Structure 1
Amino acid sequence: MNEESFASDRRLPCGQRVGELIGYHLDGVPPEFEEHLRDCPHCRAELAEISRRWQPVRRLAGSHAVPSNDLVDRTLTTLRGLRDRHGGQPLELSQEHGKLLIQAAAALSLTRRLSAEVLDDFSGMAVRSCLMADEAVRVDVVAAYPTAAHEFLPEIRRRLVAALHGYLGAGTPDVSVRLADVVPPWDGTGEETDSPPIG
């Protein structure tokens, strides 16, 4: 049974809508429908299929979700990054005729754009976040399974630093690139089959 055949507005040969049967599966079969269900092989087969397909959902709903060990650290880091976008110490760029001050938000925006351009050359990878951490810029990326992301990180960082240097010269901040998450495959064009968590 494909997704189209499972559409809630599809009607069975007896005239019953699949969406109503899904409701009966979730909320219980009303007394007025029980007689029809006893006599209708189409509805019985459809309800059995609905029940089979909902088993993983029920298992997941009944499971206890355990937060990852670094959830608090990731949350606080993200909040610090949001704070830095609205203030913080500017970057100082030494130039021929003096110093140029660049707000962290501008440096982060530039880094994010360049990171996305660099990652265009690495299938199955995307930018999750870009933030200031201890006077350095940290770029977190996500990779679609089974991309060999760890092998690419040094080259991604090298290219990103070179691109930033083209704009900022000697004022290029320290840059780190880390793999933040591995996600289900997506098609790499921005149209996701399973959405990567990109922030």
Structure 2
Amino acid sequence: MTRADLGADRLPCGASVDSLLEQVADGAPPSDPQHQRDCPHCRAAVHELRGLWEPVRALAAAEVAVPPDLVTKVMLQVRALARDGWHTVIAGPLGSTRIATWVVAALARSAAGRVPGVALTLGRAGPVTAPATGALGTGASPTGRRRRDARGVGVAGANVVIILDVVAAYGHDLNLLGDAVRAAVIRHVQALTGLTVLEVNVTMVDVVEGGATAGTPETF
């Protein structure tokens, strides 16, 4: 199996897993820097791919023979990124646990919504450059509602990237509020899922008059 075999595999945002692997393996710049900067799916996948490809890179630099099945095993794991693009998969000795992206998103919004000073949490829509959903791979494809529920969250392996838009209650230090939201989301998601939260990017999109209590977490 070669990297070219992955050409048809795509993440939920439509990005090619093959292109991301080429970027990681060859040290190439992103083909679409703006998309990758704003896309939680790509950011999580690139981090996961770096970990998957590291054994190949390390052995290629050493004066030893690379095990003949190493690249094949790595490529099978890479292919799984597209197949499980809407789920994180945690393998254990007795089986595996799959956690849907929209479940992670719900946990993140719930944690953010309970932070004093947060009036509303909004799941960030995907980058405007993302291909149409018809370009996705053949993995399990959720309904439109589930896609909306999963906005702002990307998963790859056991790694998660979260993007949240927050409406703040007037009178709060927005920098400190962003830090509090980030800490709450990381703590809550990691405690309930065991996943590794790589990033929580918070954008304050509005300020409203009102009390310091949190509102009901919602999405748009």
TM-score norm. by structure 2 comes to: 0.39
Q: What TM-score comes out, normalization by structure 1 length?
A: 0.43
